[in-house]
Chain A
Amino acid sequence: MTAALALERVTCTFISRENRDQRYTAVRDATLVVAPGEFVSVVGPTGCGKTTLLNVAAGLLAPSAGSVRVHGELLEGINARAGYLFQSEALMPWRSAFDNIVAGLEFRGVPADVASAKGNDWLKRVGLAGFGNRFPHQLSGGMRKRVSLAQTLILDPKILLMDEPFSALDVQTRQLMENELLELWSADRKSVVFITHDLEEAISLSDRVVVLSAGPETHPIGEYAIDLPRPRDVSEIRLSPRFIEIHAEIWHAMKDEVLKGYAQQQQ
């Protein structure tokens, strides 16, 4: 079976704008393959190049070397089959929550009444019915994240790229959203690349966890299949013995990298 998304030996070297001799290789020779319907989490120390990898997968950033294949086809330009949930604020501040949610449909020329029906449905699904008229600055950080989620999912992308989507939320809301995400995902099994720095979150959600080395020249240093049964409840599964076992195993492998990454940023 062809992979839904395959990053093949991707290298990303950033050149400093002022001094063209100064370069920084954030990612080197990274290979990441996601099967159709698979939920893959990527964990790694901060600043190691997770967002960079995701930008490459989205087609927003052309890799210096290597290639990206989407369902077997070589990717050029924007990855139209992917939905991207950004790490930072990405809503259009001049559009209300509702108008933000239906923006993608509008860009695709979907008739207004269809778009509006879908938009209202999604507004409800992310628990924001009645907040459609609010502008982004009138919503809380968690609400904005949910608007972003609806904005991306309304287009029903086959591939979902998520960059630390829940890191701004409190633990309770976060677990609610995680369960919600799992439910949405199990309904139609999108291929998901989920970036997080939270190992517990990664294990409880995914089929597979990929651990990245500390930067520079980040690359995957370990892959762990998560054989926990589904459907899962993220708060309960964290207490199961198998979860704790997996967690210990991955954490053991990660610890050195995290310390390395931290030490580098202290310099």
Chain B
Amino acid sequence: MLRVWQALVLVAVIALWHIGTSPTLLPPLYFDNADKAAFFFGEPLTVLSRIWNWFAGGEIYRHLWVTLVETLLAFVMGTVSGLLIGIWLALAPTASAISDPYIKALNAMPRLILAPIFFVWFGLGIASKVAIGVSLVFFIVFFNVYQGVREVSPVVLANARMLGATHRQLLRYVYLPSAMSWVFASLHNSVGLAFVGAVVGEYLGSSEGVGYLIHQAEGVFDINSVFAGIVVLTGFALVLDWCVTLAEKRLMIWQPRQGETERI
């Protein structure tokens, strides 16, 4: 029943959009020219056919692929660097004390503003988009890991030491798994930000990717293609999020969850 209502909302919104922008269905209320509404807001049917053409013509796959690669690279590199540096700083109090103000400043800075610098350093190809994504993902993971390592239960730690764990083994068998649980907790966020980094980077300057597609359409006032790009991006983000949820379920089985009993 819920699904039906959800579908109805979608249909209603699209219907409203269609009626409001179609030059023939409504008399022009606000705009003096009947075509103006369509110019500003696009038309759902045209948007749909645009999407259909992209997929049927095969034009979109290259762009999707580029965006996906950028997102994944940014995610993996941001996560790994955040994990390593987070663990290192959490276990090295002096280094952590020295770098504390700088990390706070870097985190407070709106990092999308670094995009022009990354374009200069890495060019207009994939690398600059990955760099933007990494700069976003790194801090999320870093702070989570830092917190996670510092909050490892001292008793669990003492127990592992009593069981004969060396320093290295503590790192591998206690600190890392504990930090990983915090990484997973921020998985949705960090994948989402990697995606944002990729798309915004493409939008600001590139020759490939869904963000580029939107930018290009915008340049020629093709509002229907802009909307089509947004819809594709949203679908893409949903698929990514769904994959993350699947991964999370597999990796986090050891964590207590509420209400694990079955209702009969």
Contacts and interface: CB of A to CB of B under 8 A. Distances in A.
Interface of A: 55, 58, 60, 78-80, 82-84, 86, 88-96, 103-104, 106-108, 135-137, 151-152, 155
A83 B162 contact: yes
Contacts of A93: 156, 254-255
Interface in B156-171: 156, 158-166, 169
Identify whether the interface residues of B are mostly helix, strand, loop, or mixed: helix
Contacts of A96: 254
A80 B162 CA distance: 7
B177 to A, nearest CB: 4
Nearest to B161: A78
A20 B180 CA distance: 36
A155 B165 CA distance: 13
B1 interface: no
Given A89-B153, A92-B177, A137-B256, A58 B160 contact: no
A150 to B, nearest CB: 12
Contacts of A155: 163-164
Nearest to A151: B163
B255 A92 contact: no
Contacts of B174: 92
Identify whether the interface residues of A are mostly helix, strand, loop, or mixed: loop
Nearest to B251: A94
Interface residues of B, number: 23
Nearest to A104: B163
A84 B159 contact: yes
A12 B120 CA distance: 60
B162 A89 contact: no
Given A78-B162, A103-B173, A86 B253 contact: no
A94 B254 contact: yes
A94 B177 contact: yes
B107 interface: no
B159 A86 contact: yes
Given A94-B177, A94-B178, A107-B173, A88 B155 contact: yes
Contacts of A83: 162
Contact of A92 (B160, B180, B253): B160
Contacts of A104: 163-164
A135 B257 CA distance: 12
Interface in B164-215: 164-166, 169, 173-174, 177-178, 180-181
A91 B254 CA distance: 12
Contact of B155 (A86, A106, A137): A86
B253 A135 contact: yes
B247 to A, nearest CB: 16
Interface string B219-257: 000000000000000000000000000000000011110
Contacts of A80: 164
Contact of A60 (B158, B173, B180, B256): B158
Contacts of B181: 94
A180 B173 CA distance: 31
A107 B166 contact: yes
Contacts of A58: 158, 162
Interface string B142-156: 000000000001011
Contacts of B178: 94
Nearest to B163: A104
5 contacts: A55-B158, A60-B158, A90-B159, A91-B156, A104-B163
Contact of A107 (B153, B155, B158, B164): B164
Contacts of B173: 92, 103, 106-107
Contacts of A151: 163
A95 B181 CA distance: 12
A58 B155 CA distance: 13
A96 B253 CA distance: 10
Contacts of A107: 160, 163-166, 169, 173
B256 A103 contact: no
Contacts of A108: 164
Contacts of A82: 162
A135 B158 CA distance: 20
Given A92-B177, A137-B255, A60 B161 contact: yes
Given A103-B160, A155-B164, 16 more contacts: A83-B162, A90-B158, A91-B156, A91-B159, A92-B159, A92-B173, A93-B156, A93-B254, A94-B181, A94-B254, A103-B163, A103-B173, A108-B164, A137-B256, A151-B163, A152-B162
A107 B180 CA distance: 20
A137 B164 CA distance: 24
B152 to A, nearest CB: 10
Interface in B99-119: none
